[in-house]
């Protein structure tokens, strides 16, 4: 069965600030990236499943824009909540490469 436009599930439009945050971070627009990531957290404030996604977006922006301490500080919480991050994700996803050399990150990747 060939998909039709009405049978395709669209991305949750509320996730747009997360995606914009990542795009701005990739373009080196740190302040715009942080603004969008924080907006995503506000948008998901009462959503226990989606808020960790937004918090992860902020941690990624922080990692990508050089705020290593803030990114690493967010990870223990994100490893504990549903829809946060996993140790496997931290170990393998290149998005976390800016954190790899930090001993605190290595400890998290070791599951400690």
pLDDT, one tens digit per residue, over 61-85 is: 999 999 999 999 999 999 999 999 9
User: What's the CA gap between 108 and 112, in Å, rounded?
Assistant: 6
Asked if residue 9 belongs to a domain, the reply is no
- Residue 4: the pLDDT is 53
User: Residue 25 falls within a domain, yes or no?
Assistant: yes
For the record, the structure tokens of 63 come out as: 């990692």
> What confidence tens digit (pLDDT) does each residue in 7-53 have?
555 556 667 888 999 999 999 999 999 999 999 999 999 998 889 99
The residue among 3 and 52 whose pLDDT is bigger is 52
Q: How far apart are CA 57 and CA 12, in angstroms?
A: 15
Number of domains in the chain: 1
Residue 102 domain flag? yes
Question: Which pLDDT does position 3 carry in this prediction?
Answer: 54
Domain carrying residue 39: 15-109
Global confidence as pTM: 0.86
Whether residue 92 is predicted with pLDDT greater than 70 in this model: the reply is: yes
């Amino acid at each position: 069965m060939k998909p039709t436009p009405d049978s395709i599930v669209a991305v949750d439009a509320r996730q747009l600030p997360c995606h914009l945050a990542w795009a701005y971070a990739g373009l080196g627009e740190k302040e715009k990236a942080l603004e969008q990531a924080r907006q995503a957290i506000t948008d998901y404030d009462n959503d226990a499943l989606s808020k960790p996604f937004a918090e992860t977006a902020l941690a990624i922006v922080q990692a990508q824009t050089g705020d290593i301490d803030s990114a690493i500080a967010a990870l223990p919480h994100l490893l504990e909540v549903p829809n946060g991050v996993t140790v496997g994700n931290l170990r393998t996803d290149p998005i976390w490469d800016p954190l790899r050399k930090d001993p605190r990150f290595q400890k998290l990747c070791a599951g400690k």
